[in-house]
Structure 1
Amino acid sequence: MAMSRSAAMAKLVRQITQLGMVRVQTLNCSYSTMVQAQMAMQRNVSTMSSPEDQSGKDAGGVRKHQIGENVSRKDKINFLVNTLLDLKDSKEEVYGAMDTWVAWEQNFPIGPLKRALLLLEKEQQWHRVIQVLKWMLSKGQGTTMGTYEQLIRALDMDHRAEEAHVFWVKKIGSDLHSVPWKLCDLMISVYYRNNMLENLVNLFKRLEAFNRKPLEKSTVQRVADAYEMLGLPEEKERVLEKYKHLFTKTWKGSPKKSKKIPLLTEKKDF
């Protein structure tokens, strides 16, 4: 199976090379070269140039016009997702595929990448999501709280709570005064589901030290439960008392606007 696949790759690369679209140093091609060739062949994004187009080529016969510009955004995303789903579980292969996918772009395609990640999440491909996010961060891209939240969630779903904790401590936990509560709630939930109760209460204490007040009663309840399971009933009661307003708060909807009934006017004959 592996030999037939390699033969198919080599044949594909030879066909592309004959068209002058991809330079190949050896028929024993790397995965990176195969992806370039497959992208060009599947989308038929380049053709042999006419004599007047020769100025648009470099010395090796490759068009300077980037192939990626001729492929629709949707096709790029689908190609990436399908490629990642077909790969074996190898960091080197995934990183190689990602490097090739962005090679044709003038700017880092953060938007299409986000869409591809959502599609992988929909397929519950959490391990792939983690690999892609780590690759993206290794390139210095997507260093936002939204990306960190997505990575922590994926690590949790992939049963890698300890790794999520290490990432939190290294990248996020040192700046708790500005971390969004949504992300803090997520980490508290990760600790709670994975019985990492000491980490949970330590995080909550540090948030309180920054005068950060929880916004949801579910957060307070998890903290209180953690204190109880750790044998600290006094701390449990303290937390429940301090934030009891979250349990009694009622939602106040906006008052319904009364419908105005049009006044009946006497019909006049003109």
Structure 2
Amino acid sequence: MWRSAMITKLVRQISPLGTIRVQAVRHSHRAFVQDQKPIQRNVDPTGENHYLGEPVSKRHIGENVSRRDKVNFLVKILTDLDDSKESVYNALDAWVAWEQDFPIGPLKHALIGLEKEHQWHRIIHVIKWMLSKGQGTTLGTYGQLIRALDMDHRIEEAHEVWVKKLSVDLHSVPWQLCHQMISVYYRNKMFERVVKLFKGLEAYDRKPRDKKIVKKVGDAYEILGMIEEKERLLEKYKSLSNEPSSPKKSTRTSKKR
């Protein structure tokens, strides 16, 4: 079972209030699972519980619950909690303790649900909890964390995540994440960082794939008074401005005609 002695120790050490909250979440989870499917229970003379005539261990508690129901249940728990790191961490520890394997899939679907609700602060807590467990350490997770920090107006923390986790491999970070970070700097008027990041990408001979990137970097050069650099940039990547419209737009135009 995935539940380790570390989680058990954590649950025992939390404050009385946190203990009550975790027990409440566990009770709700158990009741939620039992409500999903009626279970025939027999009592063996030896005292061992049987479900449908077969002994069932504790790890089977959540096996009859669909992924969608688990995700919806978790999103409801997280949405109803007070806005504190301890409450979120305790609830997640209690929720994941019933799983045999770490439920990275349901957690990512829960994050998507929280994004739809614009629960940026809660998303940050969930992702940091995942990372503290050594789970979800992917480029996509860090990109999602940077987006949540930016939307939560915590730009310096977003910058710190970029510097420590992504920019160390600037030669291989996907352009999508690079564009995301350039946009974060540009939107927060950090034009020096826009220029520095773009020059770092150029140092690895990485060329932008979108004219929007060129425009943002060009604007940053102009605001910083680096007119010659802007002209050099526009001349170097002028082919991007002359690119035809995307196939999707062409198709839509043809259909309209």
- With structure 1 as the length reference, what TM-score do the two structures score? 0.77
Q: What is aligned with 1:147? A: 141
Alignment pair present for 1:196 and 2:190: yes
Q: Distance in 2 between matches of 1:120 and 1:146?
A: 16
Alignment pair present for 1:109 and 2:103: yes
Alignment pair present for 1:30 and 2:24: no
Q: Distance in 1 between matches of 2:90 and 2:125?
A: 11
What percentage of residue pairs aligned between the two structures are identical?
Answer: 59
CA contact 2:150–2:184 (8 Å) conserved in 1: yes
Q: What is aligned with 2:9? A: none
Q: What is aligned with 2:220? A: 226
Rate the CA distance shift 1:253–1:197 in 2: closer, same or farther, 3 A.
closer
State the shift of 1:71 in Å: 2.2
Q: What is aligned with 1:126? A: 120
CA contact 2:43–2:49 (8 Å) conserved in 1: no
Please point out which of 135, 159, 176 is paired with 2:129: 135
Paired residue type of 2:44: P
Q: What is aligned with 2:7? A: none
Question: What are the superposed Cα offsets for residues 148-204 of structure 1, whole Å, 9 maximum, x if unpaired?
Answer: 111111111111111110110011111101100000000000000001111111000
Runs of 4+, deviation exceeding 3 Å: 45-49, 52-57, 251-256
RMSD: 2.4
State the shift of 1:53 in Å: 8.0
Q: How many residues align?
A: 226
Please point out which of 91, 94, 112 is paired with 1:97: 91
Q: Which moved more, 1:43-52 or 1:123-132?
A: 43-52
Report which of the two has the higher share of helix.
2
Q: What is aligned with 1:166? A: 160
Q: Unaligned stretches of 5+ in structure 2? A: 1-15, 51-55, 252-257
Rate the CA distance shift 1:229–1:33 in 2: closer, same or farther, 3 A.
same
Higher relative contact order (CA 8 A, sep 6+): 2
Radius of gyration: which is bigger? 1
Paired residue type of 1:215: R
Rate the CA distance shift 1:41–1:223 in 2: closer, same or farther, 3 A.
same
Q: Distance in 2 between matches of 1:53 and 1:114?
A: 42
CA contact 2:185–2:193 (8 Å) conserved in 1: yes
Q: What is aligned with 1:18? A: none
Please point out which of 175, 178, 181 is paired with 1:187: 181
Alignment pair present for 1:206 and 2:200: yes
Q: Which moved more, 1:183-192 or 1:234-243?
A: 234-243
Q: Unaligned stretches of 5+ in structure 1? A: 1-26, 257-270
Counterpart secondary structure, 2:58: coil
Q: Distance in 1 between matches of 2:44 and 2:246?
A: 73
Q: Distance in 2 between matches of 1:36 and 1:44?
A: 12
Counterpart secondary structure, 2:209: coil
Q: Distance in 1 between matches of 2:236 and 2:46?
A: 74
CA contact 1:56–1:65 (8 Å) conserved in 2: no
- With structure 2 as the length reference, what TM-score do the two structures score? 0.81
State the shift of 1:108 in Å: 1.0
Rate the CA distance shift 1:179–1:98 in 2: closer, same or farther, 3 A.
same
Q: What is aligned with 1:76? A: 70
